Amino acid sequence: MVAAVSATVMLFATACGADVEDDATAPAGQAVTVDNCREPLTVPGRPSRVVVNDTGITEIMFALGLADTLAGYTTYAGKERDIASSPWRADFERTRSLGDAFTREAIQSADPDFVFAGWNYGFKKSTGVTPDWIRSLGATPYQLTEACRQPGSTERGIVAPLDALYEDLANIGEIFGVQNRATSLISEYKAEVRKANATAPTEDRRARVFLFDSADPTPFTSGRFAAPEQIITEAGGSNIFGDLEDSWTSTSWEAAAQRNPQVILIVDYGAGPANTVAAKIRQLQTHPLMSGTDAVREGRFLALPYAALVEGPRNPAAITKVAQYLRSVGH
């Protein structure tokens, strides 16, 4: 078996928030209005009991130096590797875990005044955890911009993925009175992206890249509005499903094989032996359609942590990692 090149150890998409001078804290009673999912969102005062869902969202708060505002976070089974590889591991360890499910009971147990999640990043009508329900608790719901629903649709994504990250950093910075820190992080991330892009393979040598999250039974991948789209393109590759007007979405094995990827980027997460990176590679190698693609035949697999591939502060470092890999395999 050809082993994947793994970069699951410490993707340092900068943890330097602690090195940036804190802004003056916004007065507790001062209302702040920001644009969230193209709608005005007014927060009545600086939140002090925040509940967040998912590792990428939690790391946004940590990168901004806001660990002390968290009343708790939820993740999913299999995200332990995210925490182990996180530049903010110490913050995870000192913050209350509310378990592996973003449920009404878990949220209510923390008595939040602000809840940061996104559609399919915690908010789901099927569970009853919606922004409207959060409001019924007297808390403010903030929606992850990567997961904003398109008008009149359940499909997600309204801006380019990195713009979504920068927008959320700026908004959370304003809401919590840490605008200077947010501005500094955005500038640093943009500089890292420019540096990676400058050394990425040229336009005529762009590798076709397939983002493989999982398959149950059809493959789950990244469309135009999920973070991997821009991680791949800024690194000098071409996302084979970048034409899908959605965020994270399902496709077919037939479509993936027909587009013949030259590199496969694997999301490293998932509970149990069937969901390891090695298991995902075996699945691709034994699949009757995927086994004949250039990427599988040449053994071109790169695995990155889940938190590096959903919207979050590890995205710029992920671009650097993917650009390095594409250069190493001649693309």
pLDDT at 18: 41
Give the closest residue to 210 by CA, choosing from 146, 294, 100: 294
pLDDT at 67: 98
Structure tokens, 298: 């040449």
pLDDT at 79: 85
pLDDT at 7: 56
Distance in angstroms between the alpha carbons of the first and the last residue of the chain? 23
Return all residues near 79 (Cβ < 8 A) that are at least 6 apart: 55, 269, 306, 307
For the stretch 79-115, what's the b/e string if a residue is b when 16 or more beta carbons lie within 10 angstroms of its beta carbon? bebbbebbbbeebbeebeebeeebbeebbeebebbbb
pLDDT at 94: 97
Structure tokens, 284: 């691709």
Distances (CA, A) of 148 to 29, 33, 51, 131, 205: 28, 18, 19, 12, 33
Could you tell me the pTM of the whole model?
Answer: 0.92
Domains of the chain: 27-191 (3.40.50.1980), 201-328 (3.40.50.1980)
pLDDT at 154: 87
Write out the chain's pLDDT in tens, 331 residues. Answer: 444 665 544 454 444 434 444 554 445 568 999 999 999 999 999 999 999 999 999 999 999 999 999 999 999 888 888 999 999 999 999 999 999 999 999 999 999 999 999 999 999 999 999 999 999 999 999 999 999 999 988 899 999 999 999 999 999 999 999 999 999 999 999 999 999 988 877 777 899 999 999 998 999 999 999 999 999 999 999 999 999 999 999 999 999 999 999 999 999 987 788 889 999 999 999 999 999 999 999 999 999 999 999 999 999 999 999 999 999 987 5
Strands 248-250 and 32-36: unpaired
Structure tokens, 281: 């590679």
Q: In 3-state terms, what secondary structure has residue 46?
A: coil
